[in-house]
Structure 1
């Protein structure tokens, strides 16, 4: 069954969805209720807590600033500062100068919000204690400090003059607390500059999150700020929005750059001033616990949903399992061509059931038409021993399944062998064995069915047929079996003009013994006499002593056959093997004896092959020639098989090897001639050296080289003489001796071969060389 089919079945999907809804809906409802109701309440509480935190931090900031204001106010009653400082010479009266310095320094260290404390003395000599004594000589600085006396208020907040805010490298204006102290005829100004980092830290605590911003302002003057909002400007973006609020303290929602912020604001009463604080916090930071809680709820819900899916899948698979097993049993697979996804499984099962019923009926009808072939196949396996592992009961059940309804059966095997095909001169040709088998099989089957109740024909496709006779309780009598053999013989003789050998086997009542009686019949038919006559072999009555009757083997003809092979006399071999077969069957020897004689001759021939240096497997390419010979049951066919399948392949191999050996011998002789052409050599000398006779060597030499021995030697000596005449100045008599000739004979043979005498040939060659040299020089 297709693994994905259960995902496509309506029944599975419907159950899966129902169980999934049952298991997951309660969890989804509970999770949703917790999120929508619980989260909303928690979000409201978080906003209240945030507002309380801002108010609390604003009170803390206010208290810190009030403490600073009180400290400054108390210094207005310090005798050192309220005395008439205009009459003091700060240079000469060092102790008073030191006391003032100490007072300013103590003020600077009295509060962490104070970054720097100053005392400006408006006397004849303008002086600034910072807290060290510092007489002023710069007019601009004096004017800036003098401007602090213009405000008639005793204590007030304002931006510091540039001369004070630029200290320590700072370029922006800074805020400070100013206290004007009357001192006799002069006015003194006590100046406290706020510690910007401390103030900024206190302002930052108004917004407890890393995101957002916090501001401390006086009207439209920015005192301190912390801002993590990119490109956000309080004056441009928020100041007008806060002024629109009617309450002095409160909060509102503010949208900026697509995000929502909670803005909390309020007022602080300062000495002779009103300050405002603003805290801007992103809602994502405020409700972050809600987001975490939401994620936890979602995670729990998703986990619960996944668990529901797993439980649903397991439960649905358990419910679906019986249906799946049924569909597996019915082999229902996914049909991609049809819309199985919209089809109910039960409808598929119903359709499949009808389909299987129709197929079963068709198969039964086909089985009835193929029963004979199935029976034949079963008997072929049985007789060949392929069903040895089955018990008697199992074999009986199989036979009943093939239609043999017999109680207490008995079995008899008959073999019918046709011979004489080589001599047919009627409607059939020698090559039409299949047609002969077809006609003979039908004739024998028809006659057997008339004679016996249950029979099964077996065609062995070698012009032999087997008949298994199955009867209840008892077999037919020997007389009826002989009568059947005679009827079959007569019918085959008349219709096909062939001879028949009928072999009747033993009786048995056990199915497992059928292979045994078949083998007995198969071997028993070899008891037929090796002639073209009708024969009936009744094995139970056959005398064992008859097996050796008439045994004869023509050893003399065998020796002549082997000798003809050695001498490569193929024509003599064919005549001798015909005599061999005639003598072998002269005494009406039985087929088994004829086959043994043929086997003995073939073995002798194989020995000759091996003595020749070949292996039978090499000659016959691994083919089982012995088996091929045993298939022939007529002398003419055996002779033909010996000539074509046994002798011819060997002669081809032998001739090929002999040609190769002869070529090697000639090559050896040529090599010897090349080495000894200048000596007195002859064909007889070389024939003795290679252990052959001069006639054979001369014949072989001419076949391989194309010319005879003398002509080859003469051509070689003349060519060597030409080389010496052209390249040396040796005497012609010396050259003739070097190439193996006497001087007088050399001149005659050279002129006969070349057409000119040796001296003329040398003169011609030298003239040719001179002409070539002259042409090359030009």
Structure 2
């Protein structure tokens, strides 16, 4: 038996190694390489399509495609018509995949813009183009081509044969881009040959098949232009296999004695999800190695089988006692889920370690989560969310969470942290939650030294609360008042902030806590806004006595409104500081200060309406009264009023004052776009606008973000590149067509593009 085993095992190992490691690794590595290549190239395809969507959305939101087109007389306003045609011309040349760019308007009448202006008279054409406004969402993809919509028989035939004419991709964006009632559509038709060539890059080999399909399984584009019946059958079989392999994006597929590495993935488009599928042949690479390894495995397995039969008799007698012991110690062992690499003793050790580890993990997780459960329960309790529970249920739940409640009294403390506006050098305006978190940690550390049972609640808005549970015979309230003084000192030294500590009366039952919490929330509005820390006793009426209301400073309000109206930021801030000083003097309460600031906000918004500025649009639809009412500190109120109310209005007024310069620059840019072929200069354009050249140059830079000559050069270079790509004109003729001398044109083109015009044309043509 040993001789048989020694003789057969090397051959068997060799065959298995060759088959499992060599062949299996070849298949896996080939499949992984194919999947990796497909994913990288699919990202490129996705980026190209996403760029088209982004480009079209950019143009759809242009003002020139706005609601003004609904009533525009395109024959009378020839310049605007020419500008639309030029824009579509630029859009068509902005991406090599675009075949045509069209604009269809339903109002004021059915009009089609492409290379020129066309009024549609044919009812069949009008119906075909109107279909774009009833299909899909505001932005969508389709394979409907309006110019072929009347020839349905030809289109159906082309669709079956996967030809260009019946399977073109069309990207539609209804206009205006921001309107819910569009009256037109920007229509981009892709060049199907170029899309097919782009899709063919997903197949790294000459053989195989690549195609793109929609959510319904219909083929949109294929990377194989000439597709016969056999390829269509293979394509249909691939679709069925892809539908079955939903758990993996790569698999091996055997079709007609040929094995293919199939990779597929999703391309998320703006209105739907497309699926790309790529199949590359695999069997021809691995079939010779498979045959040799199979012969070796079969020969070696036959020799080994004889040895296994002989060894079975002896091993059964030896192993039977071990099997009985394993069955007794691990009665629930599942053979299907057991790791076959482990022997029986390792299985026993593994099970013991797993049980021990699970026990320790469960205990650790319970200890970690218990403080959070306690704090969450107390927060729900004091906020009144557990009103449905009776006294016995509440006490039982508190005992389950580790609280001792028998013979105990309950005390609530609320802490409000002020002086945050002075910390802007250390913390930003959005760091209130971080500061509150730090303060809560300090509260817990200080309270642990005084009270035996506490639970601290973090409200994340520069306020917190703490529940203290103490024996009934202890003077817990006096201890809390002394503890508040210690907390004030620690917070002042550590965070450089002031603290208002409010102490409630002791409660004998947890059910009284929600009512105490509401009383404290109401009483805090009548605390004094004086600078510094405060310790307040809810039962001491002197802490919350109503002060005589300070008079509203109407004179300062008028000064603030006048400074804002004139756009004087510094003056408005100075008067607002005087206003804040006036309303916070004489121990005014937080409630009084907040009401006066709300009144000032209302007056400012009324002034904005009088000057033609809508507060709702200026503040982005935000409820400014609600935001102001959440701020407690006068200093923060003042900072918020300056940054969120005054500055946006002053900036809006400044922008409106610059509108005439913007119109001058826009007219100059349009003049350049239309006359770049002629000799242009800054002086001639300034004379046309009756301005001095320096003023026009400064306005041009301020509005457009570039110099006059840089913009003129960019327009001429774009036109030259288009002529190089789309015509066979000589370089000299192209230079003259865009307004340059030949020698200077070559220098400026190479400086801008990094290569000469001839090199650019050869690169574009793929030479």
Common fold: TM-score over 0.5: no
Per the normalisation by structure 1, the TM-score is 0.38
User: Computing the radius of gyration over CA atoms, which structure comes out larger, 1 or 2?
Assistant: 1
